[in-house]
Amino acid sequence: MDKFDAIVIGSGPGGYVCAIKLAQLGVNVACVEGNASLGGTCLNVGCIPSKALLNASHNYHNSIENFSKMGIEVERPSVNWSKMLSYKDTMIKDNTKGIEYLFKKNKITLINGWASFVDNNTISVNGKNFEADHFVIASGSEATSLNDIKFDEQVIVSSTGALELKKIPEKMIVIGAGVIGLEMGSIYSRLGTEITILEFYDKVLNGMDHDISKNFKSILQKQGFKFHLSSSVSNIAKEKKGVKVTYEERESNNLNELYADVVLVATGRKPFTENLKLENIGVKINPKGQIETDKNWRTTTKNIFAIGDVTPGPMLAHKAEEEGIAVAEIIAGQAGHVNFEVIPSVVYTDPEVASVGKTENELKEEGIDIKVGKFSFMGNGRAKTVFSNSGFVKVIADSNNDRILGAHIIGPAAGDLIHEICVAMEFGASTEDLARTCHAHPTFSEAVREAALACGVGAIHS
């Protein structure tokens, strides 16, 4: 029987990062993966392929919308969909191969197959047993269906099917104005599909700062998105051609129907614990199907840890990675820690949306005396040159000590800009610290500095 110090179950961003960190810390480690390629949802059917298609569709759309404004005259470009899909597949392959290389470099044993627990020191994979002192469950999540309606991944699709459609649809209904719905909707909207979003709440990106939700909806409407908010989808039926979606307007209780070629169900994801036979080890699962852990990611069975989407908290690759590193450190006898107050979240639309820390409403509800500094990208010279000045930077700080408590951005490269504020928050910085830091001109990041200035003495360019 093969014996290891630690076995990580799952090779997504949580699992593979944890395995590498364990190896770097001198722990004899194996990683089990059931899928043929490494990288989990994020690399194979999530973050990476969607970013590839977002990039391709953005360039296509940009060439139509903006090239001639800059004096670049081209014949109207056209989309070669199958080539676009193979570009996406190449990006997946390059990234998954990269993990294979890192596993070899760090001498991590890869076990191919689905793991199930025999007891708290043993798993079985393809009928063979493997032992370890510690296990890390990083088995991720899967898309939730609506009212148990099955995804055929052709007409009724999850994000996985949406990355592989046979052709670009004329009309697409997207259920859910969350991250997946808006990112996938953006891809197809830019490629010419009519996008109609149905959302249960009265806003997009529910849970984000209210200014973000409000402004982002109007930006997307200008891009051609149609919205039916406060609408609850009750049924999806396949038609001879396409699909019929029935939804209820929550205020009036009116039932309506919409037709499209494809419906994307983006109503959230649920933990993936199939095959694991957790009942054999007594690991506690909560009513949402998530594996419960203590603050050190130990499950109710002490030598078994759980990280990432299979546990409570935001389903974000980088949150899983942080947890993977912390757990590896704990297993290696070090202190592992994650600051959950400073986990950024990014929506990779155009413009991007990024957020860190608390929202204005959350802080008000907590009774904290806050000040808010906002700066529009209208006042940012660089944003104008790239035709992307419809967003803003909003910085929120404690009125008593000027400490930064949150930031919310819609704008060009928002997903990169947010990290300046993450670092500032990690160091307990004030808005004055940010405002007194010299920012290169002309950069998008000047808008962050201006928003910090707006929290105090006032922005220069507004």
Catalytic residue positions? 441
Our finding on whether 315 is near ligand NAI (CB under 6 A) is: yes
Our finding on whether 176 is near ligand NAI (CB under 6 A) is: yes
CB of 224 to ligand NAI, least distance (A): 20
Our finding on whether 52 is near ligand NAI (CB under 6 A) is: no
Our finding on whether 405 is near ligand NAI (CB under 6 A) is: no
User: Which residue's beta carbon is nearest to the bound ligand NAI?
Assistant: 178
Our finding on whether 145 is near ligand NAI (CB under 6 A) is: no
Instruction: Give dist(CA 42, CA 260) in Å, integer.
Output: 28
- The stretch near ligand NAI (CB under 6 A) out of 16-24, 263-271, 323-331, 392-400 is 263-271
Task: Pick the closer one to ligand NAI by CB: 9 or 180.
Answer: 180
CB of 296 to ligand NAI, least distance (A): 23
SS3 content of the chain, % helix, strand, coil (to 5): 35, 25, 40
Tally helices (H) and strands (E) across the chain.
Answer: 13, 22
Task: Pick the closer one to ligand NAI by CB: 250 or 371.
Answer: 250
Q: What is the enclosing helix (H) or strand (E) of 423? A: helix 414-426
Q: Which of 87, 71, 68 is nearest to 79 (CA)?
A: 87
Our finding on whether 266 is near ligand NAI (CB under 6 A) is: yes
Our finding on whether 347 is near ligand NAI (CB under 6 A) is: yes
Whether the CB-CB separation of 177 and 267 falls below 8 Å is answered with no
Residue whose entry in the numeric block shows the structure tokens 């609506």: 146
Our finding on whether 442 is near ligand NAI (CB under 6 A) is: no
Our finding on whether 163 is near ligand NAI (CB under 6 A) is: no
Our finding on whether 406 is near ligand NAI (CB under 6 A) is: no
The binder of ligand NAI chosen from 30, 99, 137, 175 (CB under 6 A): 175
- Please measure the distance between the N-terminal and C-terminal CA atoms of the chain and give it in whole angstroms: 69
Number of residues that bind ligand NAI (CB under 6 A): 27
Instruction: Give dist(CA 168, CA 170) in Å, integer.
Output: 7
Instruction: Give dist(CA 136, CA 117) in Å, integer.
Output: 12
CB of 176 to ligand NAI, least distance (A): 3
Site for ligand NAI in 187-246 (CB under 6 A): 198-201, 206, 232-233
Our finding on whether 269 is near ligand NAI (CB under 6 A) is: yes
Our finding on whether 38 is near ligand NAI (CB under 6 A) is: no
Sign of dihedral through CA atoms 320, 114, 180, 210? Answer: negative
Task: Pick the closer one to ligand NAI by CB: 202 or 274.
Answer: 202
- The stretch near ligand NAI (CB under 6 A) out of 1-9, 30-38, 73-81, 308-316 is 308-316
Give the CA count within 13 Å in the CB-facing half-sphere of 100: 10
Instruction: Give me the helices (H) in 276-365, please.
Output: 317-331, 360-365
Q: Which of 450, 371, 365 is nearest to 403 (CA)?
A: 371
Q: Which of 386, 369, 402, 399 is nearest to 447 (CA)?
A: 386
List residues near ligand NAI by CB under 6 A.
146, 175-181, 183, 198-201, 206, 232-233, 266-269, 314-316, 345-348
